Amino acid sequence: MQKTITRRELLAAAAGAAALSACNVQKPVAPARVSVVRAASYDQSVYGTVRRLLDEHRVEVTGRNVVLKPNLVEFEPESSINTNPLVVHAALEALRARGAASVRIAEGPGHRRNTLDLAEAAGYFKTVPHFEDLFVDLNLDDVSRVNPPRQFSRMKKLYLPNTALGADLLVSMPKMKTHHWVGATLSMKNLFGVVPGGVYGWPKNMLHWAGIEESIADLHALFPRQFAIVDGIVGMQGNGPIQGVPKKVGVLVAGADPVAVDATCCRIMRIDPMRIGYLRLASEEAEAYISERNIQQTGESIASVETPFDLIPEFQSIRLENS
C-alpha cells in the first residue's frame, strides 16, 4: 500500500529536523520562571492558589489596566471545553487586591456569535459578580489597525480590539487542551480569541489561510505585556479543542512568558514542545524558553504531575515518548 505523507506529518518532520539542527545552539538566555501548582478541584481554595501564584511572580499591576482573556468556545457547561469561571474570578480578585486600576474580562469566541449567552451557559454570570459590566466581547469591540512586528504569517495588517491593545497587562487564561490542527491549545493559541469576528467572521478563517501556526506566533508578538495562567485542573484530551473528553490533571501553570508556560504544559501533557510549530516560531532563538534548561520552574516537578493526554492518530508523533 502506498504511504502518503500528510501535511501534518510533513510539518512534524520539519519541526523534528529543525530541532536536530538546533541541538548545538547554546546561546544563553535569562531563564523564564514558570510555576506549576496543584489545584485538585474547582473550589474555594483556587482563590488562595491564584493569589500565591501572582505573589510568587511579583505581578506588578498597581494603577494598571488588566484584561483577563479566558477561553470560551461552546455551550457545554458540563464539559471541559471552557476556562472554568472560578479560576478567572480568582485572578480578577487577586489582581484587584494587588492594586490594578481596572480588571476586565474579555473574549471573542471563534464559532459562536452570542458570547454573553455562551458565558452565561459556562457559569460566568453566576460566579463573577457584575459579570456583564466587567465583560467585553472582543468580537464586537472597536478596533485599531496594527502591523505584526515579526510577520511570521502572510498577515501584513490586522484589526484588533482596542480593549486588548490598550491593556497594560493581558492575562491569557486558557484551558489545557489538545488541538486537532496544532497539537495543543494553551496560552498562545488562546490569543486567536482577540481577533474580532465582527471584522473577520465566525470562524476567523483568515487566520487559517494566513497559516495557523504562523498567525499564533504573530499574535504572540503583538502582545508583549502578557501573563499566562493555564487552567489545567481539568483539561481536554483526544479530539480537542471541542470534541475531546475531560482529563483531570489537577494543576494551574503560570508565568510571564507564554512560550515557557506552554512548553511546560506540553511536558505535563507528555507532548514534545519542540514539535509544536508555533512554539518554535515564537521562540526568539532555536530553543529559548522551550528548552527545560531555559525555564526556571517552581512548585511541583513535571514528573510529579505529568498526565499523558490521549492524542488523535494524526498527532501520535508529537508524544514525548515518540520524539
Partner 1 sequence: MGTMSIDELVGRQNRDGGWPYIRGASWTEPTVYAVLALWAAGETEYARRGLRWIVRNGRTDGGWPAQPGIDQSTWVTALVALLPPEQLGQEAHGRAIAWLLGMTGEESTLTYRMREWLLGNSRLAEREPAGWPWVPGTAAWVGPTSLAILALEREHSRRPRAEVRRRVEEGRGFLIQRMCHDGGWNHGSVRALGYESRPYPETTGQALAALRGVRSAEVEKGLTVARRFLAECRSAEALNWLRLGLLAHQELPAGYCAPAGVTNRTLPDGSLDMLVSAVQAGSDLFWS
Q: Does 239 bind partner 1 (CB under 8 A)?
A: yes
HSE value, Cβ hemisphere, 13 Å, CA-based, for 201: 6
DSSP 310: P
DSSP track, 220-243: HHH--SEEEEEEEEEEEESSTTTS
Task: Find the binder of partner 1 among 52, 57, 93, 159 (CB under 8 A).
Answer: 159
Could you give the string, one character per residue 111-130, with x where binding to partner 1 holds by CB under 8 A and - elsewhere?
xxxxxxx-------------
Task: Find the binder of partner 1 among 31, 198, 246, 308 (CB under 8 A).
Answer: 198
Q: Does 206 bind partner 1 (CB under 8 A)?
A: yes
Radius of gyration of the chain (CA): 18
Task: Find the binder of partner 1 among 27, 208, 225, 293 (CB under 8 A).
Answer: 208
Q: How many residues lie near partner 1 (CB under 8 A)?
A: 29
Q: How far is the CB of 155 from partner 1 (least distance, A)?
A: 11
Among the listed ranges 54-62, 93-101, 105-113, 298-306, the one in contact with partner 1 (CB under 8 A) is: 105-113
Q: Which is nearer to partner 1, 155 or 216 (CB)?
A: 155
What letter represents residue 142's amino acid?
D
In 138-278, where do the E strands start and end?
143-146, 158-161, 169-173, 175-179, 183-185, 226-237, 245-255
The Cα-based distances of 85 to 114, 219, 230, 251 in angstroms read 17, 24, 12, 15
For residues 308 and 288, give the distance between their C-alpha atoms in angstroms, rounded to a whole number. Answer: 24
Q: Does 147 bind partner 1 (CB under 8 A)?
A: no
Task: Find the binder of partner 1 among 9, 168, 300, 314 (CB under 8 A).
Answer: 314
Q: Which residues bind partner 1 (CB under 8 A)?
A: 111-117, 137, 140-143, 145, 159, 180, 198-203, 205-206, 208-209, 239, 243, 312, 314
